[in-house]
Amino acid sequence: MRPALRVQVEHIAIVQVRGGKFQVVGGTKKDPFVCWSNANRNWSDPKPTPVA
């Protein structure tokens, strides 16, 4: 059995479809991903992050 993947930072990009086009929600066009630490499960504000 493979060990569980331990990801240090969680990343997501949230989009909506408006007028037939994808629009970034929660981030910006420059920093479309929102990321936060996985060090623990305590709440922390996500940080906008650019595409790597």
DSSP letters spanning 5-29: P--SEEEEEEEEEETTEEEEESS-S
Instruction: Determine the pLDDT at residue 22.
Output: 92
Q: What is the pLDDT of residues 2-52, one digit of tens each?
A: 566 677 888 899 999 999 999 998 888 899 999 988 888 888 888 888 876
Predicted TM-score (pTM) of the model is 0.64
Q: In what order do the strands lie in the sheet with 47-49?
A: 21-25, 9-18, 33-37, 47-49
21, 13 contact by CB (below 8 A): no
